[in-house]
């Protein structure tokens, strides 16, 4: 790593020395860092494409229009119930986690005093480490059995909320902290109260980053299986709008379970579900991202 002291003379001497040594070596030394980072980015994208290819090549043959109009039945069938169930669970969870997560993040960055803040941040990070199966089993004992909800939409949504919460909380926290001090001070200088500055200056500036994290968390929630198996259960039929006492189907169940069956049709359905889930995530991400970029450009002046 190059040590750069910020005193002018030694930098100039170093620059002079390196220029006389031969520019090719210099160019390589200067750019080796960039080269490695570019390589890293390409490798990461390559792996993503490999996974996409893996799923789509096996799932696309099974993607037919009837998937959207028939329910999962027997050893294959369609995915209508699972698609609707996934949408319902995730939407419900996003609503709950936004309320709790944004609230906690705002409190952490703007209102908390030092010790409670450190404690809640620590707890949030620990929450991220709880295995999804433990969240599911916790939900099973607490909601399905003790509260008597049986397999339910509410139970599944709560389980997903717990999974998403650390990301949304920390995301909001970090985003608000990153708001440039000058902007906030400008607001105070104009005579605004703390809360007003928060709502009219900090929050809009931080919103794109907050939503990025929310999007990330939603992606994670869409892909979870274990928490839902124990709280939402599974149903071969269309989900009802009942919050409790009614099991909810979801796409990841199909992937997890149907891949273990001895029938080729079941495997095809499992990969189709995986392909569909990933397409859903792609579409959500693409739309949200371009909308977010616009939002950032508006809120922050330049991007």
Partner 1 sequence: MALVTATIVFLIAMFLIVYSWPAIAFNGFGILTHLEWNLGNQYANGVVHRGGFTGAPGASFGAVVFIAGTIISSAFAMAIATPLAILVAIAMHYQVPRRLKTPVNTLVELMAGVPSVVYGLWGIGVLVPWISSSVGPFLAAHISWLSIIGGGSASGNGLLATSFILAVMVFPIMAATMRDVLSTFPKIVFEGAIGLGATPWQAVTTMVLPAIRTQMFAAAMLALGRALGETMAVLMVCGSALNQLPQNIFAPINTIAAVIVSQLDSALTDPTGMAERSLAELALILFVITLSVNLIARLIMRGGDRVKRTA
Partner 2 sequence: MKPLRIIFGLLAFSIATTAAAFAAAELLETGSSLVYPLMNLWVPVYTKAHGDVKITTQSTGSGTGISQAVAGVAQIGASDAYMSDAQLGTTHMLNIPLAISAQQINYNVPGLNDVHLNLSGPVLAGIYDGSIHFWDDAKIKAINGSVGSKLPHEAIIPIHRSDGSGDTFIFTQYLSFSTPSWKGGPGYGTTVNWPAVQNAVGANGNPGMVQACQGAKYSIAYIGVSFLDQTNQAGLGYAALQNASGKFVLPTEPNIVAGAAAKDKETPKDERISLIFAPGANAYPIINYEYEIVNPKQKDAATASEVKNFLSWAITGGQGKTFLEKVHFIALPPSIVSLSKAQIAEIGS
Site for partner 2 in 136-165 (CB under 8 A): 144-145, 150-151
User: Is residue 87 involved in binding partner 2 (CB under 8 A)?
Assistant: yes
- Radius of gyration in angstroms for the set of CA atoms belonging to the chain, rounded to a whole number: 25
**Cβ-based nearer residue to partner 2, 63 or 90:** 90
Taking contact as CB under 8 A, which single stretch among the options 87-95, 193-201, 241-249, 286-294 is the one that binds partner 1? Answer: 286-294
CA dist 198 and 175 (Å) reads 12
Report the residue count for the chain: 303
**Quick one: which of 233, 255, 275, 277 contacts partner 2 (CB under 8 A)?**
233
How far apart are the C-alpha atoms of 145 and 244, rounded to whole Å?
A: 12
By the rule CB under 8 A, 19 interacts with partner 1: no
**10 Å Cβ neighbour count for 252?**
20
- Binding residues for partner 2, rule CB under 8 A, total 31
User: Is residue 269 a contact residue for partner 2 (CB under 8 A)?
Assistant: no
The one of partner 1, partner 2, none whose footprint includes residue 218, by CB under 5 to 8 A per kind, is partner 1
Q: Is residue 25 part of the contact set for partner 1 (CB under 8 A)? A: no
Quote the least distance from Cβ 191 to partner 1, whole Å. Answer: 25
Task: Kindly tell me which residue out of 66, 236, 290, 294 binds partner 2, with binding defined by CB under 8 A.
Answer: 236
Among positions 208-227, residues that touch partner 1 (CB under 8 A) are: 209, 212-213, 215-216, 218-220, 222-226
User: Which of partner 1, partner 2, none does 185 bind, CB closer than 5 to 8 A by kind?
Assistant: none
92 binds partner 1 (CB under 8 A): no
Nearest to 66 by CA among 48, 78, 57, 56: 78
Residues paired with residue 72 on neighbouring β-strands, in sequence order: 77
Q: Does 69 bind partner 2 (CB under 8 A)?
A: no
Helix axis angle for 153-177 and 80-106, nearest 10°, is 40
User: In whole angstroms, how far apart are CA 233 and each of 48, 78, 106, 152, 230?
Assistant: 30, 18, 34, 7, 6
- Helices then strands, counting H and E runs in the chain, come out as 12, 2
Residues 6+ apart with CB under 8 A from 278: 52, 55, 56
3-state secondary structure of 15: helix
DSSP state of 190: T
Do the bridges between strand 76-77 and strand 72-73 make them parallel or antiparallel, or are there none, so unpaired? Answer: antiparallel
Size of the site for partner 1 (CB under 8 A): 100
From the list partner 2, partner 1, none, pick the one residue 102 interacts with, judged by a Cβ distance below 5 to 8 Å according to partner type.
partner 1
- Contact at 8 Å (CB) between 263 and 176? no
Pick what 243 binds: partner 2, partner 1, none; C-beta below 5 to 8 Å, kind-dependent.
none
Chain contacts with partner 2 (rule: CB under 8 A):
73-75, 77, 84, 87-88, 91, 144-145, 150-151, 229, 233-242, 247, 257, 259-263, 266
């Amino acid at each position: 790593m190059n040590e750069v002291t910020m005193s002018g003379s030694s930098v100039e001497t170093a620059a002079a020395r390196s220029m006389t040594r031969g520019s090719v070596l210099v160019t390589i030394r200067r750019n080796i860092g960039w080269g490695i980072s570019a390589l890293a980015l390409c490798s990461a994208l390559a792996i993503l494409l490999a996974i996409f290819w893996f799923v789509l090549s096996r799932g696309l043959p099974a993607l037919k229009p009837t998937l959207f109009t028939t329910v999962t039945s027997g050893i294959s069938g369609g995915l209508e119930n699972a698609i609707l169930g996934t949408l319902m669970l995730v939407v419900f969870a996003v609503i709950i986690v936004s309320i709790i997560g944004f609230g906690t993040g705002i409190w952490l960055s703007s209102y908390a005093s030092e010790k409670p803040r450190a404690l809640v941040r620590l707890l949030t990070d620990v929450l991220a480490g709880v295995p999804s199966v433990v969240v599911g089993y916790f939900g099973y004992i607490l909601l399905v059995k003790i509260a008597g909800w049986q397999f339910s939409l509410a139970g599944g949504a709560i389980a997903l909320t717990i999974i998403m919460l650390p990301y949304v909380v920390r995301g909001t926290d970090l985003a608000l902290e990153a708001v440039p001090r000058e902007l906030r001070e400008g607001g105070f200088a104009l005579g605004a109260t703390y809360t007003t500055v928060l709502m009219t200056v900090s929050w809009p500036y931080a919103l794109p980053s907050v939503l990025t994290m929310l999007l990330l968390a939603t992606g994670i929630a869409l892909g979870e299986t274990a928490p839902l198996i124990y709280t939402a259960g599974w149903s071969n039929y269309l989900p009802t709008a009942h919050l409790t006492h009614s099991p909810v189907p979801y796409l990841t169940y199909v992937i997890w379970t149907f891949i273990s069956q001895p029938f080729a049709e079941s495997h095809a359905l499992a990969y189709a579900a995986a392909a569909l889930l990933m397409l859903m995530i792609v579409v959500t991400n693409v739309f949200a991202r371009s909308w977010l970029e616009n939002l950032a450009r508006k809120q922050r002046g330049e991007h």
